């Protein structure tokens, strides 16, 4: 079956190793190096593809996609706060995580579509970058509404100078300036090795996800249900927006995947500064322990199938 390709099986191996409490570990320096490589490679690929399009062709879809994506944390917050009875801080923090996006989920979605031979608009990486910032700001505002003392300066510095944004934007700029011919000598490093190094990274993600299961067990069933239902709703929004904008089958699938994903890298760092009273075990546990595996194993193939139906 198409979705059981090797990179996802590496993730499952990591989960199994974590559940059986194997002594398997990925050295911290290797994990950091892999994350830098993946972010830079995705940015370079997006920049090279972006050079093929007039910027105005990307601007209008970008505005629509960001505005529609901003609805996700706004809708998630009252569900978490009123129905789930979570504190304002925790509800705002989790909403910000789910409004933001996961770079690794995006990478797996791209790999999945490539294996199927389904083309994708090259500028989708631009939306990956643009969807990060608004959701985090909305989550902070929702969490801190009525409170004082929010450290906006350090928060904005953390968001704009964070590793994810710097590497994605930097790689995109390099790829856009260099163009396909300029990047060609680096293809073997950044593009040919991408899938193999992604497999290593997903092995570590599986180990980390297994460690988050206990956090969710303590949180109760509501958060588990939320972590499954929210990506389904968000993906449906992405499918409708992609259809409205006339994106290709691959582009619509990837937009649904972006909307359905939840951040567990940039968002925790931002919320740690802006909403220190929020419990990170809840947000990271839901995003990484449930939503990330759900999207990899079930979500991405499902979003592709629904996109085919809409097309």
Please list the alpha-helical segments (H only) found in the chain.
Answer: 6-19, 28-50, 55-69, 71-78, 88-99, 103-116, 124-130, 132-144, 152-161, 163-183, 187-190, 194-219, 221-245, 249-260, 266-274, 280-286, 292-294, 300-310
| The token pair that represents 83 in the structure block | 């129905």
Closest by Cα among 129, 131, 150, 132 to 141: 150
Residue 146 confidence (pLDDT) above 70: no
Neighbouring residues of 311: CB distance < 8 A, sequence distance ≥ 6 = 243, 249, 252
In-domain check, residue 263 = yes
pLDDT at 162: 73
In-domain check, residue 192 = yes
Residue with tokens 């249900």: 225
Count of domains forming the chain: 1
| The token pair that represents 219 in the structure block | 């949180």
Q: How confident is the model over 215-256, as pLDDT tens digits?
A: 777 778 999 999 999 999 999 999 999 999 999 999 999 999
Q: How confident is the model over 102-131, as pLDDT tens digits?
A: 989 999 999 999 888 898 887 888 888 888
Residue 306 confidence (pLDDT) above 70: yes
Closest by Cα among 157, 150, 153, 159 to 274: 150
In-domain check, residue 144 = yes
In-domain check, residue 230 = yes
Quick check: helix, strand or coil at residue 94? helix
- Least confident interval from 51-55, 60-64, 97-101, 148-152: 148-152
Contact 70, 138 (CB under 8 A): yes
pLDDT at 2: 44
CA-angle at 60, arms to 59 and 66, nearest 5°: 85
Residue with tokens 């790829």: 175
In-domain check, residue 293 = yes
The most distant pair of C-alpha atoms in the chain lies apart, rounded to whole Å, by: 55
Phi-psi region of 179 (alpha: psi -120 to 50; beta: other; left: phi over 0): left
In the predicted model, what is the mean pLDDT of residues 32-45?
A: 88
d(CA 34, CA 200): 8
Most confident of 36-40, 45-49, 88-92, 218-222: 88-92
Neighbouring residues of 246: CB distance < 8 A, sequence distance ≥ 6 = none
- 306 or 157, higher pLDDT: 306
**CATH number for position 269:** 1.20.1530.20
Neighbours of 93 (CB within 10 A): 32
In the predicted model, what is the mean pLDDT of residues 63-84?
A: 94
Neighbouring residues of 111: CB distance < 8 A, sequence distance ≥ 6 = 5, 7, 194, 195, 198
Dihedral sign for Cα 237, 297, 44, 185, please: negative
pLDDT at 300: 94
Q: How confident is the model over 255-272, as pLDDT tens digits?
A: 999 999 999 877 887 788
Average pLDDT over the chain, rounded to whole? Answer: 87
Angle between helix 28-50 and 103-116 (nearest 10): 60
**Cα 240 from chain centroid (whole Å):** 19
d(CA 96, CA 167): 21
CA distances from residue 205 to 8, 95, 96, 120, 256 in whole angstroms, order as listed: 11, 22, 21, 25, 22
In-domain check, residue 1 = no
Q: How confident is the model at residue 280 (pLDDT cuts 50, 70, 90)?
A: confident
In-domain check, residue 66 = yes
Residue 161 confidence (pLDDT) above 80: no
pLDDT at 1: 40
Around 181, how many Cα atoms within 13 Å sit in the side-chain half-sphere?
A: 0
Question: 220 is in which domain, residue-wise?
Answer: 6-18+25-310
d(CA 235, CA 80): 19
- Least confident interval from 40-49, 167-176, 207-216, 290-299: 207-216
In-domain check, residue 110 = yes
Residue 307 confidence (pLDDT) above 70: yes
């Amino acid at each position: 079956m198409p979705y059981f390709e090797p990179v996802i099986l590496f993730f499952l191996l990591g989960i199994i190793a974590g559940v059986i409490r194997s002594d398997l570990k990925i050295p911290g320096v290797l994990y950091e190096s892999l994350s830098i490589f993946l972010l830079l490679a995705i940015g370079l690929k997006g920049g090279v593809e972006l050079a093929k399009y007039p910027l105005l062709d990307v601007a209008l879809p970008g505005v629509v996609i960001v505005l529609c994506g901003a609805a996700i944390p706004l809708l998630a917050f009252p569900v978490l706060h009123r129905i789930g009875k979570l504190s304002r801080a925790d509800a705002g923090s989790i909403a910000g995580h789910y409004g933001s996006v996961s770079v690794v989920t995006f990478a797996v979605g791209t790999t999945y579509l490539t294996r199927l031979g389904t083309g994708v608009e090259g500028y989708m990486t631009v939306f990956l970058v643009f969807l990060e910032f608004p959701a985090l700001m909305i989550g902070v505002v929702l969490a801190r509404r009525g409170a004082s003392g929010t450290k906006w300066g350090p928060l904005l510095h953390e968001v704009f100078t964070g590793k994810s944004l710097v590497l994605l934007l930097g790689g995109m700029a390099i790829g856009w300036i260099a163009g396909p011919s300029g990047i060609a000598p680096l293809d073997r490093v950044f593009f040919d090795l991408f899938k193999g190094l992604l497999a290593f990274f997903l092995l570590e993600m599986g180990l980390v996800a297994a460690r988050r299961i206990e956090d969710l067990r303590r949180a109760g069933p509501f958060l588990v249900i939320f972590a499954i239902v929210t990506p389904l709703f968000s993906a449906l929004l992405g499918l409708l927006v992609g259809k409205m904008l006339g994106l290709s089958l691959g582009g619509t699938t990837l937009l649904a995947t972006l909307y359905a994903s939840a951040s567990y890298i940039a968002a925790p760092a931002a919320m740690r500064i802006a909403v220190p009273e929020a419990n990170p075990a809840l947000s990271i546990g839901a995003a990484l322990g449930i939503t990330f595996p759900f999207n990899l194993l079930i979500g991405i193939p499902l979003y592709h199938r629904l996109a085919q139906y809409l097309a």
